[in-house]
Amino acid sequence: MRGLPAVHPEFMLEPAFDQFGSGREAIGLGQPRKRGLDTRHGTVLSLEDISVSFDGFKALNALTLYIGVGELRCIIGPNGAGKTTMMDVITGKTRPDTGSAFFGDTLDLTRLSEFQIAQAGIGRKFQKPTVFEALTVFENLELALKTDKSVWASLGARLSDEQRARIDQVLSTVRLQSLASRQAGLLSHGQKQFLEIAMLLLQEPQLLLLDEPVAGMTDAETEFTAELFKGLAGSHSLMVVEHDMGFVGSIADHVTVLHQGSVLAEGSLAQVQANEQVVEVYLGR
C-alpha cells in the first residue's frame, strides 16, 4: 500500500461526505476548509436550550451557550455539572433530546456524525492521552495527517514537503521538536498531552474542545499549556474545561459556570468568583 495517493488536507471532506451524503452545502464541500465555515455573525458555536437525559436524570437542562470566533472560553463547575456531556453533544457523541447546536451560522451539529463534525473543524482532546504508544512522535503526527487512520500501511507513504513542514511547525508549537523520533510510549504524561494537541492541530480545527487538559501535569507543563492556549486563541476558538483555578485564572478572559446542566453564571473570572451562588456550589467547597 506504499505510494497511496497523499490526500490534500484541504480537500479531506470529500470522501466523508460522499459516504454520508448530508450537510454538503452547509460545509462548502470541496472548498478549502477554513473558508467553508460561515461565521459572519461572529459566533463559532451556538448551543440553545439543549437538554440531555440519562434514564430520567437531566445531565443537561436547557443549556444555552455561545462561543465567539477566536475566543478562549473556560468552563468550570462541580463534578457532574454536565461539562463533558456538553462536549459529547458538540462532537455528536450524544444526541440532545431537545435544543439546537450549530457550528458557525449554518452547520447543524445534531445532524452530523462524529466523523463529519471532526472533519468540519471541531477537534476534541479527551482527558486521557490517546496517542499511539508504539509509534514515534513523528509517526503519530504523520498518522494524524491522514484522513483514514485505519490505513496503517500508509505510514510508509511519502510525505510532501508541505506536509513535512506542517509537522515540523506543530512540533515546534508544542515544543517537541527534539523528541520527534522518540517512541510515544516513552513520553511523560504531559509530553503525551502536548503530542495529542499537536495531532489535533494538524487537522486544522477551528474550534478546539479540551477536557481537563492540565490534569496530572507538572507546574511547568501547566504554565506552558497556558501559554500555548493563549497563543492558539484568536486563530482558533477554544473551549477549555478545567478544575484547576490557578490555570483558569492564567488564561481566561471569559468563564462559564455550569451547574446541574445549565449555565449558573458567566463573565470574567473575577465576576463569577464574586457570585454567591457560584461560591456556594463550587468555589467555596
* Chain contacts with ligand ATP (rule: CB under 6 A): 54, 59, 77, 79-85
Q: How far apart are CA 203 and CA 166, in angstroms?
A: 10
Nearer to ligand ATP by C-beta: 63 or 167? 63
Residue 152 interacts with, from ligand ATP, Mg ion, none (CB under 5-8 Å by kind): none
| 3-state DSSP assignment of residue 126 | coil
Nearer to ligand ATP by C-beta: 26 or 75? 75
Do residues 2 and 153 make contact, with C-beta atoms less than 8 angstroms apart? yes
Residue 79 interacts with, from ligand ATP, Mg ion, none (CB under 5-8 Å by kind): ligand ATP
Nearer to ligand ATP by C-beta: 80 or 267? 80
What are the residues whose beta carbons fall under 8 Å from the beta carbon of 9, sequence distance 6 or more? 33, 145, 163, 166, 203, 204
CA-to-CA dists, residue 169 to 43, 139, 178, 198, angstroms? 28, 15, 13, 9
Residues 190-214 as b/e (b if ≥16 CB within 10 A, e otherwise) read bbbbbbbbbbbbbbbbbbbbbbbbb
3-state helix, strand, coil in the chain (%, to 5): 40, 25, 35
Nearer to ligand ATP by C-beta: 84 or 119? 84
Quote the least distance from Cβ 179 to ligand ATP, whole Å: 30
Quote the least distance from Cβ 241 to ligand ATP, whole Å: 7
Residue 150 interacts with, from ligand ATP, Mg ion, none (CB under 5-8 Å by kind): none
Residue 124 interacts with, from Mg ion, ligand ATP, none (CB under 5-8 Å by kind): none
Nearer to Mg ion by C-beta: 85 or 222? 85
Do residues 62 and 49 make contact, with C-beta atoms less than 8 angstroms apart? yes
Q: How far apart are CA 178 and CA 180, in angstroms?
A: 6
Quote the least distance from Cβ 213 to Mg ion, whole Å: 12
Binding footprint of Mg ion on the chain (CB under 5 A)? 83-84
Amino acid residing at 30: G
Residue 181 interacts with, from Mg ion, ligand ATP, none (CB under 5-8 Å by kind): none
Nearer to Mg ion by C-beta: 73 or 83? 83
What are the residues whose beta carbons fall under 8 Å from the beta carbon of 198, sequence distance 6 or more? 141, 144, 170, 171, 173, 174, 176
Quote the least distance from Cβ 76 to Mg ion, whole Å: 11
Which of 200, 28, 168 is closest to 11 using CA atoms? Answer: 28
Quote the least distance from Cβ 96 to ligand ATP, whole Å: 13
Nearer to Mg ion by C-beta: 137 or 258? 258
Residue 59 interacts with, from Mg ion, ligand ATP, none (CB under 5-8 Å by kind): ligand ATP
Quote the least distance from Cβ 207 to ligand ATP, whole Å: 18
Quote the least distance from Cβ 65 to Mg ion, whole Å: 16
